[in-house]
Structure 1
Amino acid sequence: MKSVLSTVLLALVFTASIEAGAFASSAQPDYKDNAVSGITTGEFNDKRMQIAEIQEKTRGDNGEAFEGERRIDGSMAQKVVRVATTSGIRLTSQHEAGKQQQTVQTLALSSSAGRQNEDGGACSECPEMIPIPGNKFAIGKYTVTFKEWDACVAAGSCGGYQPPDNGWGRGSRPVINVSWDDAQAYIQWISGKTGKTYRLPTKDEWEIAAQAGSTSDYYWGNDVGRNNANCDGCGSEWDNRRTAPVGSFKPNAFGIYDMMGNVWQWTDTCWQGNCAKRMFFGGSWNHRPQDMRAITRNWFDTNKRMRYLGFRLAMTLP
């Protein structure tokens, strides 16, 4: 019996080491790439701003280290944020944005880009999409679930790949253990089935959708609080144990669920121009609250599959 237990423990330690190493290997700092900073050179020239990248090393599951990037106004030491307005997204200081936050958060979304065919008819197979105010894109109300993924497999698509659920259940839980390449297979299938053109969100789109006009660390405030999300230290029943069913927590001001916590989410943005690596955001059930902030990002090779990594859809609007 002791021999069997020793073997099981050794296997668990080995698996954890591989996962930690895979995550840590992607923690490469970036100080120059405008695509990663998310702010164009022109915007900074116009406002005569300087960029200061503050490297914030934090620890996640199994000692996984990664980097958060915070953009600072050199003269006022305030966060530079994007504010969603009805006329678009503009660069502003945290102080100025704070005055607008209440107005932005009261924006009501009266329509959905999903649940309809191109001719306006009902589309029960279409994912529910949320149009983002002042922008020509919509993003998934929820991350893609196991139920949605399994429908793809049942239809003979998605390469027949059935990602493991770690024994936590499938159904309405976010699909995990899916790579960026896997996400593309699903996108091809759902686009063909519904007649709509889906894709992954870009880095900038993900940030805009996640912040939902807020200027705080989290879209509900600067304090992580309790039971606002699923992470290692969020105060939920799933913390550092397993994923939660999608929609288990309050949505952000745009009506989007689980943009922070539960599972990291792939984006379509290449890492420093290398499209064999793609960026992901949002934190997960087994990473610390600091990791959920929109300023924290990382990358993996496009074929990487992890138990804390999923995706949500986006689409371009006319």
Structure 2
Amino acid sequence: MKVNKFLITLSLSVFAGCVYASKPIEPIMVTIPAGSFDMGDRANQEAEPLRKVTLPEFSLGKYEVTVSEFRRFIEATGYKMPNTCHHEISSGWFTRTATPGSWQNNSINTSEYQPVNCVDFKAVESYVKWIGEETGLPYRLPTEAEWEYAARAGTTEKFYFGNDPEQTIACEYENVADLTGENVHQRDSGASFVNYLNAGGKSNCVDHAGYASIVGMYKGNPFGLHDMMSNVMEYTADCFVGELPMGGHATAKECKYRSLRGSDWHRNAKPISWRPMRLADFDAGGLEGFRLALDGKRTTDSSSTQIFAQELAQAQQREQQRRDAATPNPNPVTNVQLDKVDGVVILNWDESQQQGVQSYRVYRNDAPGTRFRLIAANIFDTQFKDANADFHAYEYSVVAVRNHEQSDYSELVTTQAGVTAKIPGRIEAEAAFTMSGESIRLKKTSDIEVGYSVTGRGGIPAGATLSFQVHVAQSGEYQLSYRVSSPRNTKGFIVLVNDKELTTSQIAETGGWNNWQTQKGNIVYLQDGEHSITVKSLDNNWKLNWLELQPK
């Protein structure tokens, strides 16, 4: 009797699959040798003090834990996961509140081999406990010290691949905010990395991933670990404290904040010393994941590990083939010129000489230093007229398009602001024709009204200035009002007219950054005509939406 080899192979495959499905997928591990290193960074206050840390040999996951691995935990335990997550993206990036979405169904992951996200810390703890009990091995999260030691892998520069000051090689090693992501997010939601402080802008390279990537698609560090500084931020075993803990490890029965390490696809390359954190009870998010650690060296790989490694390699190969087949982004548009005729902004630029460039797109921001917004697409010649520009100053950029992929942005061209407000009336914060001060920027307001507010790291910094061009219709006394938010009482600001001090206004605590109030200042006298009004900050911890001057 002949034996059907196909049926035997199929039966064995099904049998192996059943056995495999009943077990955890143990992580592919890398042995990290014992050693000492200088932990921390004098250039980062939260990464001080710099100290020598010595660690014994341990093992660390070669990759971040994937959706496929996490699925075994859910199927085996029936663990109740959150059904909402901070994962959906709009033009202002992530929504303020969690929306329907889960570890297996969210707007970021599309593959079983991407790092699992939309997991809160309780779920991470439960996964770690489960895999330890099922395997008999004391799997755990790495400490901050272990994570940094493993990420540095014997290097001492900003990144394990060098300092990379222009961030031109980061995409070879990590999945960061890049030109691919800029293309994808402008297309999907109108979001931009450019001038987005939380992302730090974008790296000047192409990594072929707009969201989280299949793990292991980029070069590893000298220890052979992948995605240590990107893809998703990784929970550690430590509580977060304001400076590096003694010995590089901080634990407590209850943490107010949890320490994470590494960056994610949503930001440009961050230094190894960067220390993000989350509230201990933070809702599940689209940027947080984890990898596992183990004391000592794991001597053998389980059958589940070996099978997973084969499946992952196949997924990586398919993804690499897709990336290899992608058409390179076209070169940036050159020689963009701006003119303004009868209130219409006219842009002209040089025609692209690259083969396959099909059209152009024009981007504009609502005020200098804010994020780009697409205002025109499918432009087939080298001129564009913007009849919807008002008295604000705008920045424009033009991109070339080939096979639906756009170039990087051209050099910016800027209109000059005219009269930004008529008095009596309101002066919107985004109408400033100049802004100065460390970290000062415009941001979509959280107030009930649309538009922008002025803020910075810790609010508008002391010494910052905002200048506006106004036209006063009639000489007289005017009541000054201002729409602000502040978590505490502040010294406020000085108002100068034509560089001469007019009045000082204090700001009362409003109940928090997102609680806005209209507060009144002094009554001031203004001469009719056109004037420059400057607001000079005397303190930090406040944000401004608008000023208003109405007749007394």
What is residue 279 of structure 2 aligned with on the other side? 301
Distance 1:238 1:180, change over 3 A: farther
Deviations 1:95-134 (A, max 9, x none): xxxxxxxxxxxxxxxxxxxxxxxxxxxxxxxxxxxxxxx6
Kept in 1, the 8 Å contact 2:68–2:113? The answer is yes
What is residue 292 of structure 2 aligned with on the other side? 313
Secondary structure at the residue paired with 1:297?
coil
Secondary structure at the residue paired with 1:275?
coil
Task: Give the residue type in structure 1 aligned to 2:175.
Answer: N
Secondary structure at the residue paired with 1:183?
helix
Task: Give the residue type in structure 2 aligned to 1:298.
Answer: P
Deviation (angstroms), 1:138: 1.3
Kept in 2, the 8 Å contact 1:230–1:236? The answer is no
The 5-angstrom pairing of residues 118-197 of structure 1 reads 135-160=56-81, 162-163=102-103, 164-166=105-107, 168-197=109-138
Deviations 1:70-100 (A, max 9, x none): 65xxxxxxxx576xxxxxx56xxxxxxxxxx
Alpha carbon RMSD of aligned pairs, Å?
Answer: 2.6
Task: Give the residue type in structure 1 aligned to 2:279.
Answer: D
Task: Give the residue type in structure 1 aligned to 2:47.
Answer: E
Secondary structure at the residue paired with 2:137?
coil
Q: Distance in 2 between matches of 1:165 and 1:316?
A: 34
> Gaps spanning 5+ residues in structure 2: where?
1-37, 83-101, 178-201, 242-251, 298-552
Deviation (angstroms), 1:250: 0.9
What is residue 220 of structure 1 aligned with on the other side? 161
TM-score by length of 2: 0.34
Kept in 1, the 8 Å contact 2:174–2:207? The answer is no
Task: Give the residue type in structure 2 aligned to 1:267.
Answer: T
Deviation (angstroms), 1:216: 1.1
Bigger fraction of residues in helix: 1
Task: Give the residue type in structure 1 aligned to 2:261.
Answer: F
Deviation beyond 4 Å, 4+ runs, structure 1: 51-55
Structure number with the bigger relative contact order (C-alpha 8 A, sep ≥ 6) is 1
Secondary structure at the residue paired with 1:213?
coil
Q: Distance in 1 between matches of 2:150 and 2:275?
A: 15
Distance 1:155 1:260, change over 3 A: same
Distance 1:201 1:246, change over 3 A: same
Equivalent pairs counted in the alignment come to 199
Q: Distance in 1 between matches of 2:75 and 2:286?
A: 22
Q: Confirm whether residue 264 of structure 1 aligns to residue 264 of structure 2.
A: no
Q: Distance in 1 between matches of 2:135 and 2:293?
A: 14
Distance 1:160 1:295, change over 3 A: closer
Kept in 1, the 8 Å contact 2:143–2:237? The answer is yes
The range that moved more, 196-205 or 160-169, is 160-169
Q: Distance in 2 between matches of 1:268 and 1:306?
A: 18
Deviation (angstroms), 1:149: 0.7
Deviation (angstroms), 1:52: 5.2
Q: Distance in 2 between matches of 1:194 and 1:165?
A: 30
Match of 2:216 among 244, 247, 255: 247
Deviation (angstroms), 1:188: 1.4
Q: Distance in 1 between matches of 2:120 and 2:208?
A: 23
Q: Confirm whether residue 275 of structure 1 aligns to residue 275 of structure 2.
A: no
TM-score by length of 1: 0.56
Distance 1:192 1:214, change over 3 A: same
> Gaps spanning 5+ residues in structure 1: where?
1-36, 40-50, 56-67, 72-79, 83-88, 91-133
Deviation (angstroms), 1:160: 5.0
The range that moved more, 156-165 or 169-178, is 156-165
Distance 1:237 1:38, change over 3 A: closer
